Structure 1
Amino acid sequence: MPGTAAIYVRISKDSTRQGLGVERQEAACRELAGREGLTVGDEAIFKDNDISASTNSRKPRPAFDAMVSAVRAGKFTHVVSHSNTRLTRRMRELEDLIELSKETGVQYLTVVSGNDNLATATGKQMARIKGSIAAGEADLTSERVKDAAKQRAEMGKPKHSRYRTFGYDAEFKAIPEEADVIRDAFERVVRGESVSSIAVLWRENGVNMGNGKDVHYSTVKNVVRRHLYAALSTYKGEVVSRSTAEPIVSEALFWAAQDVLDRKRNPRSGKNARRYLLAGLIQCGECGHVLYGSHTYTNKSGNSRHSYICKTHMQGCGKVSVMGHHIDEMVLTMVKRRMTMTDAIAVPETIDYQSKIQALEEQMQVARADVREGRLTFLDIRETLIDLSQQKTALEALAVAQEDEEANYVPNRTWVEFKTASLSEQMATVGAVIQGVVVSAATSNKWDASRVTIYTKRGNAVPGTSIKSDVGDMRRIVAGFRDIPVKPTKLSKPIKGLDGKFAGSNKADN
């Protein structure tokens, strides 16, 4: 008696996205169904294109699931596929198909794998043997693919995808216009701007990623997280070699951006929103933990008052609390002093880090040339490349630090501009001037400036007693910090060069 057939077609990888592979399978399946006298309706074709059926794939197969549901509903008496591997390479799914045949009586026909009668023990045995072989082939294929991917990563070869990688041409040479956009995003993140604000900026400027998709938060985050832009080759998230792609950002800038994003990712940060000037910069002098900003009260004039507190539930000692406006005013005084300096402090002697970096790059190029010309293998030079790369990273970091230090002495923003800037911009400027603030426990209920030590970017300690602020000017700025909805921050790292009780230099830098 003729029956009705469901045709299931699938291809694991379709690089053209045109579905030509599944169309060829469908034609062969229709021919087989015709020879068997089966009816194939318009709604009997189930296609999963560019989807694997192996145990190594977690991607769902919507057409396969729909086909099983239709069979269970009694719509089809037969399922036709090109081969048993098109149906599944998963032993667990095979058992489900055997059980489906037992429940509904459905029969499975294949163009090239033969037909197994699942109503008999022999038929089920043969189906399981074929399924086991198919699963084994899938595992072997997976191993080969992983080995090839690891080898490509170790050789520094970038991974090609369906769409051109933003910032690069097909040969992974930087496209200047797109590279500028990428570099600007990294720099904005390091300056403290949010990823969301950068995404908005990209949309407003019509940045085209080349994949037909709109720019969102995740778009920018993925760009700034991508090692490729620093010419770093990774495998399973670990850097294994230098990439042959042209670098768009320096390693120093890349890792600085990662540090900023990692700090923002801390799940504990939500309760300490960045509405406090020194969030992430002020630390407890007793235990070393960050002091958290906390709203205290609003006075009769409508000005908000806040404190910086060492919180026990955040692993702090709970011994230190200080009124925020006192500390903010002291730090703002230092910022103003730095901005209004012209001839007071000479710019420190600079070191030509770029020539040192260039020398290391030339050594790396020589090593790679030895590999290309067959004199050495990649394994021979891998340790050398890693060592040279680490030296280069350290020098680039020193170069960036030197640029920051010079920027502190040659301000690029006036005090008037600073006062009218957003809190995020003010925080970024403060972070460029100071390394951190340490506050010790109080000995009385009165304000005591000697509790405070401010550490400059050069690691010098500035006693709080040496800072005389323009109280009126500073408090007008501090009063403007209240109720500002901004992104959260995280516990910052301990102040560089300080540990334990924050024993630092006594040299004043004021």
Structure 2
Amino acid sequence: MTIKSVEAKASDRLRLYVVDMLHRAEAMIPDLEPLDCPDAAYTRISDDVEGQGLGVERQTEDSLREAERDGVTIPDRNMFSDNDISASTLSKKPRPGFERMVAYVLTRQITRVYAYSNSRLTRRPMELEVLIQLAEQYGLTIRTAVSGDDNLNTADGRMTARIKAAVDAAEAEKTSERVKRQKQQRLAGGLPPGSRYRTFGYTRDWQPIEGEAAIVRETFDRVARGESVNAVTRDLIARGVKPVSGGEWRFQVTARMLESRIYAGRLSYKGQDAGPSKVPALITESQFQAAQNRERKAAWNARTGLLSGIAVCSRCNTAMNLSEGAYVCARIAGGCGAVRIKREWLDNATDSVIWFLMMWKRTQELTNTGTSTDTADEAEALVTQLDREIEEVQQALGAGDMDLADALPVLKEKRARRAKAAEDAEAALSAANDETWRDWDEYVSSDVSSKRTMIRRHLTAVMVSPATLRGRSTYDPDRFRVVTVYRDAEGKVLEFSGRGCGQLREARDMHMATDPSRFDRIHIEWGQGTRLVKGPQEGILESDRGGARIEHHIEGGTIAFDMPV
């Protein structure tokens, strides 16, 4: 690449930036209200820590005082402001106040702008070029309280303004470098980078606030159990819970809380795990991970049907949704519009399969050799060891025995290994003990969101075929089948037809109608495999003591209940 090509690209970038900003300003012109005064004032503060706009107020006073020296009174509608928005070269935030002021200049309703300093107008050299264009073509003049007045219509004035803009941009970049270095040093010392507001649940010096901490624990627990973020948010709003910034609690506040590792005693930087924190943890890492595995969906798109989006039309493979008490394949959703089935038929069938899978999964847990548990223990031991090593490096850094430049790569390597070990431990624990499988009574009493979370993890789909029998009230068990994510002992996908679901429901009702304490052993036989749910692991199919045996023969296998006499 030649020097000329680099210059051409830089020139093109500048031209595009100027044109783009002018186009955005032009788009605002139709909505502008007419002004009676050609003079305006612009104020900006990049970091309003106080949250009260006091910095902008101070700039306004100085700018208006400068205008008064010229005998100019600036009305309120001619005041333009961007509060808590940076104007540095590193900022990507738009400045609506600045761009609205530019729109008025384009309509020639503003010809003079007062500001506290050049840096308050902009720290971006490319934005200065916009102001130069406005000065040359629209006669804009700029007055500042402390930076002097640069005549942008002369070569010397433009040179001076550009030098000042370059200095301001460099100062902004130096500030950014200092802030980044400070964040790295805090992370290396086991502390969060810090933010404008305190974190919900903690004081400014990172001590737990018990009332808020209880809400944090409750939120993670409810979401981990399958309740939707939207449902939790609505409940917090109804209870009058407020975020630290004031105002009303929102869906985004709950979502950010659930993604914050600091509650689990971990640091985070640029969205990545940055090692253990010295801040007291409010939840365990397993609770944090369980909340990350939630079903993610928009706050405004909460499903009301148990199988909405899970039931699938077998004719066109379109997801079906609930409408007037039935799951339908709607044309408006891209479906064929030819398949409709009553809600209770599919919901009851799915509940029966979930009940069976609860029992079937427990048999696997009882007959497992413990390999997953051993793997989890090894991974957790490695996590603990790496935590100790990271803490040792942090202590050496704090005591001055190690330089920051030497500590950062060591911490980065150990934190990466620690993240991988934690991921392995979580996967092994999930395989050894799936926490989404709870008691049947708890499943039945859960809300729709919690049930859907369980169903989505353990069912692939509920396939529904078009009706072959006349009448919407005619039940046809051959119309649908429930497909799970599991395979039986022969390697076949575990799925149930409508008839199989009916048989499972009978077995479930028989089981639930009998006192569980009376069961000696519960057996499930599927394919060539035999699984023991309750009783000694080495138990056999026939009861040693004799007694009653209840068997349910279902397509593909048998569920048997042994009860003592």
Deviation at 1:21, TM superposition (A): 4.1
Q: Could you tell me whether the CA contact under 8 Å between 2:309 and 2:320 is conserved in 1?
A: no
Deviation at 1:47, TM superposition (A): 4.4
Whole-angstrom distance in 2 between the partners of 1:109 and 1:430? 66
The two structures have a TM-score, normalised by structure 1, of: 0.65
The residue that corresponds to 2:122 in the other structure is 88
Which segment drifts farther, 467-476 or 112-121? 467-476
The residue that corresponds to 1:361 in the other structure is 384
Question: What pairs with 1:493-508 in structure 2 (closer than 5 Å)?
Answer: 507-508=529-530
The residue that corresponds to 2:413 in the other structure is 383
Question: What pairs with 1:303-318 in structure 2 (closer than 5 Å)?
Answer: 304=326
Q: Which runs of 5+ in 2 are unaligned?
A: 1-36, 336-340, 469-475, 510-525, 532-558, 560-565
Q: Equivalent residue of 1:390, what SS?
A: helix
The residue that corresponds to 2:441 in the other structure is 413
Q: Could you tell me whether the CA contact under 8 Å between 2:488 and 2:527 is conserved in 1?
A: no
The residue that corresponds to 1:275 in the other structure is 305
Whole-angstrom distance in 2 between the partners of 1:61 and 1:51? 7
**CA root-mean-square deviation:** 5.4
The residue that corresponds to 1:494 in the other structure is none
Q: Could you tell me whether the CA contact under 8 Å between 1:277 and 1:423 is conserved in 2?
A: no
Whole-angstrom distance in 2 between the partners of 1:345 and 1:90? 63
Deviation at 1:404, TM superposition (A): 3.7
Alignment pair present for 1:210 and 2:233 = no
Q: Equivalent residue of 1:413, what SS?
A: helix
| Residue from 354, 367, 371 that aligns with 2:394 | 371
Alignment pair present for 1:249 and 2:268 = no
Aligned residue pair count: 446
Distance change >3 Å, CA 101–CA 336, structure 1 → 2: closer
Q: Which amino acid aligns with 1:258?
A: Q
Q: Could you tell me whether the CA contact under 8 Å between 1:91 and 1:132 is conserved in 2?
A: yes
Distance change >3 Å, CA 253–CA 283, structure 1 → 2: farther
Whole-angstrom distance in 2 between the partners of 1:138 and 1:7? 23
Alignment pair present for 1:132 and 2:166 = yes
Distance change >3 Å, CA 219–CA 473, structure 1 → 2: farther
Whole-angstrom distance in 1 between the partners of 2:527 and 2:190? 44
Deviation at 1:196, TM superposition (A): 1.6
Percent pairwise identity = 29
Deviation at 1:381, TM superposition (A): 4.1
Deviations 1:301-334 (A, max 9, x none): xx85779xxxxx99xxxxxxx9999987665445
Q: Which amino acid aligns with 1:203?
A: I
Deviations 1:91-139 (A, max 9, x none): 3332332333334544333344333333333323332333333334434
Whole-angstrom distance in 1 between the partners of 2:110 and 2:343? 74
Distance change >3 Å, CA 173–CA 378, structure 1 → 2: farther
Deviation at 1:172, TM superposition (A): 2.7
The residue that corresponds to 1:39 in the other structure is 72
The residue that corresponds to 1:197 in the other structure is 231
Q: Which runs of 5+ in 1 are unaligned?
A: 285-289, 308-312, 315-321, 477-503
The residue that corresponds to 1:481 in the other structure is none
Whole-angstrom distance in 2 between the partners of 1:238 and 1:224? 14
Q: Which amino acid aligns with 1:413?
A: D
Whole-angstrom distance in 1 between the partners of 2:435 and 2:50? 52
Question: What pairs with 1:290-309 in structure 2 (closer than 5 Å)?
Answer: 293-294=319-320, 304=326
Deviation at 1:165, TM superposition (A): 1.0
Alignment pair present for 1:158 and 2:192 = yes
Deviation at 1:358, TM superposition (A): 7.5
Deviation at 1:399, TM superposition (A): 4.4
Deviation at 1:185, TM superposition (A): 2.4
Q: Which amino acid aligns with 2:529?
A: K
Distance change >3 Å, CA 183–CA 281, structure 1 → 2: farther
Distance change >3 Å, CA 274–CA 189, structure 1 → 2: same
Distance change >3 Å, CA 242–CA 117, structure 1 → 2: same
Q: Equivalent residue of 1:212, what SS?
A: coil
Q: Could you tell me whether the CA contact under 8 Å between 2:184 and 2:193 is conserved in 1?
A: no
Whole-angstrom distance in 2 between the partners of 1:204 and 1:404? 32
Deviation at 1:397, TM superposition (A): 5.1
Which segment drifts farther, 328-337 or 127-136? 328-337
Deviation at 1:202, TM superposition (A): 1.0
Alignment pair present for 1:14 and 2:48 = yes
Q: Equivalent residue of 2:273, what SS?
A: strand
Deviation at 1:425, TM superposition (A): 4.6
The residue that corresponds to 1:227 in the other structure is 261
Deviation at 1:166, TM superposition (A): 1.0
Q: Could you tell me whether the CA contact under 8 Å between 1:348 and 1:406 is conserved in 2?
A: no
Whole-angstrom distance in 1 between the partners of 2:207 and 2:381? 19
Structure with larger RCO (C-alpha < 8 A, sep 6+): 1
Q: Could you tell me whether the CA contact under 8 Å between 2:326 and 2:342 is conserved in 1?
A: no
Distance change >3 Å, CA 457–CA 323, structure 1 → 2: farther
Deviations 1:136-192 (A, max 9, x none): 443444444445445655655324333321122223344343333223323333333
Whole-angstrom distance in 2 between the partners of 1:393 and 1:200? 32
Deviations 1:59-96 (A, max 9, x none): 44454455556666767764343332222223333233
Q: Equivalent residue of 2:197, what SS?
A: coil
Deviations 1:319-370 (A, max 9, x none): xxx99999876654454467899x9999679869789848843651353134
Alignment pair present for 1:99 and 2:121 = no
Which segment drifts farther, 218-227 or 172-181? 172-181
Q: Equivalent residue of 2:158, what SS?
A: helix
